[in-house]
Amino acid sequence: MNFLAHCTLAADASATWDVPANQHNGLLAGAIIADFSKGRVNPQWPQSLQAGIRLHRRIDAVSNQHAAILKSCARYPKQLRRFAPIFVDILADYHLSHNWNSYSKHDLFGFAQRCYAAVAYYQDYLPEHGRRFAAYMQDSNLLARYHEWPTIEQAIASSLRRLQRPDLTATAVAASSEITGQSVDDFHEFYADFRQQLVHWSNLMEAA
């Protein structure tokens, strides 16, 4: 999952687990901070933030083996298969944005603002490069712009730069565009499954 999907699932978890309102921001922030937090979750951190990070990691672990995600990955040409899970994650935010009202009762713009505020509240738990990204995310209103194809292209290009494979950008963007019509069905399948599984993951709110 990419940032918007992780945040939306964290919000769903808050409702599914009946989390007190004062802990919702921790789950939302953890959905993003998890990408900048490696190793064992710090037991001294706020419990809701820990839970948000653990939820992010649980979703990633399940998604790596999910049949519908593997189906989407297989739609990419062989030369891109190694990186296909990253592209499928990014496309998940594209599909979620275009089907937002099917999965959330919140206004997308307002939800994005809530996420930025949550991360800002917990920014002391981010390393410096994470704070820079959080500032960029808010300044560019990234979470509310995944329905725009140029945002997807930029996310794919950024991922491949980090992997030192910028030469694959044009091919990856073209392939991602080509499979969007088919991958949307894969998205609905795996995203609905993750939402259903949330009820079984309430123990993530417990202190480690």
One-character DSSP codes across 185-199: HHHHHHHHHHHHHGG
Q: Which residues of 97-111 are buried (b: 16+ CB within 10 A; e: fewer)?
A: beebeebeeeebeeb
| Structure-token pair, residue 14 | 């808050």
Degrees to nearest 5, angle at CA 137 with 124 and 198: 80
User: Rounded to an integer, what is the distance from CA 154 to the centroid of its chain?
Assistant: 16
pLDDT over 90 percentage in the chain: 95
Residue 104: what pLDDT? Answer: 94
Q: How many Cα atoms within 13 Å fall on the side-chain side of residue 111?
A: 23
pLDDT higher than 60, residue 149: yes
**How do the domains of the chain map onto residue ranges?**
3-203
Which helix H or strand E contains 67, and what residues bound it? helix 67-74
Degrees to nearest 5, angle at CA 87 with 10 and 122: 35
pLDDT higher than 60, residue 208: no
Confidence of residue 190 (pLDDT cuts 50, 70, 90): very high
Q: What is the pLDDT of residues 59-115, one digit of tens each?
A: 999 998 999 999 999 999 999 999 999 999 999 999 999 999 999 999 999 999 999
Q: Select from 155, 198, 173, 191 the least CA-distant residue to 77.
A: 173
Confidence of residue 207 (pLDDT cuts 50, 70, 90): low
d(CA 92, CA 20) in angstroms, rounded, equals: 28
